[in-house]
Amino acid sequence: MSASASSLPVKARALLALRALPPLSPILHRVIASLAHEDVSFAKVAELIEKDMALAGNLLRLVNSPLYSVRGTVSSVRHAVSILGVNKLRNAVIGLSAAQMWRSLRTPPGWLMADFNRHSVSVAILADLLSQHLPARDSVGAFAAGLFHDLGRLLVAIGLPAEYKQIALLCEKDPRGSAKHEVHVLGTTHAELSADALAVWNLPAPIRAAVRYHMRPGLDPEASADGIALSRILHAANAYVGPTTVSFCVMEDAARGNESSLESLGLGDQVSGVLSEFENELAAIQPYF
């Protein structure tokens, strides 16, 4: 880091780490635009996917997985698009594109990228499913919100190594106080950093708000509006999934959630069905992360 960059506030230095990430692909840019309800041609998106051999291959493998139980073999992207539908296509492209982005990153000792990816995609899938079974607002962005809710943690790990190490030492002594340690060291939380990073990427405001308030959804200004706020759904999904190991990252709270986090949303007897769908979708997409 240059001398001028090192003099910047912590939040600015963390956001500079976005430059270390691979640039968003044209496909991902177009899919992100669709999250803002812009008039996006999914035929055009299919055409773009066909030009990305890795993404196209992964998409076809996903569609041909047992999750979709299609007869015969799907061998064209356009056929895959017709099977997935708009929302599932959107989620698949965002998820598979993110997997490609993360794969080349160099992270500090103690950071387990495979577990970070597994946690992120798990929260994304569960948040998306919950939003489909509830009177949720802004449900179209649930998957993206879940996938990127911990982006701030990744930015700290790769962009602020000294601060990351300091938080790690604090978390070793008090694993359940990660948010408190973040504020002490950074003056902000990973949720705030994640939301600010998504603003740089031009993700829609409802997604940024859900990410910003996912640790404390009661502070979301939209929490009292009609319907269930996306921040509350994201909070419940994150609480249920919990860390996939003792901690994929020293900044992750050690507590693991349970079904009560989902029942608090008013799902009633739908909980078991949602969790069954969750396990099936996770099993299908997890190999790509």
The model's pLDDT over 153-196, given as tens digits with 9 standing for 90+, comes to 999 988 898 898 888 888 888 877 788 888 999 999 999 999 99
- Number of neighbouring beta carbons within 10 Å of residue 241: 24
- CA angle (158, 236, 139) in 5-degree steps: 90
Confidence band for 223, pLDDT divided at 50, 70 and 90: confident
Q: DSSP secondary structure string, 97-147?
A: HHHHHHHT----TT--HHHHHHHHHHHHHHHHHHHHHTTBSSGGGHHHHHH
State the average pLDDT over residues 16-28.
87
Q: Which pLDDT value is given to residue 7?
A: 65
Residue 255 has pLDDT above 80, yes or no: no
Q: What is the pLDDT of residue 256?
A: 46
Residue 243 confidence (pLDDT) above 80:
no
Q: Quick one: pLDDT at residue 250?
A: 45
238 near 217, Cβ under 8 Å?
no
Name the average pLDDT for the chain.
85
Tokens of 261: 């986090």
Decide: 130 and 139 in contact? Cβ < 8 Å: no
What is the percentage of the chain residues whose pLDDT exceeds 70?
90
**Do residues 265 and 130 touch, judged by C-beta distance below 8 A?**
yes
- The residue with greater pLDDT, 145 or 249, is 145
Q: What is the pLDDT of residues 64-97, one digit of tens each?
A: 999 888 888 999 999 998 898 888 999 999 999 9
Tokens 């938080």 -> residue: 167
- Report whether 62 contacts 285 (CB < 8 A): yes
Mean of the pLDDT values across residues 250-276? 75
Contact yes or no for 274/131 (Cβ under 8 A): no
Evaluate whether 159 touches 16 at the Cβ level (below 8 Å).
yes
Q: Residue 202: what are its φ and ψ, rounded to 5°?
A: 65, 30
What pLDDT does 196 receive?
A: 95
Q: Could you tell me the pTM of the whole model?
A: 0.90
Dump pLDDT digits (tens) for 135-147: 988 889 999 999 9
Q: What are phi and psi of 87, to 5 degrees?
A: -65, -45
| Mean pLDDT value across residues 29-55 | 84
Kindly list the domain boundaries of the chain, sorted by start residue: 3-21+109-288, 23-104
The CATH architecture one would assign to domain 3-21+109-288 is Orthogonal Bundle (1.10)
pLDDT for residue 219 is more than 50? yes
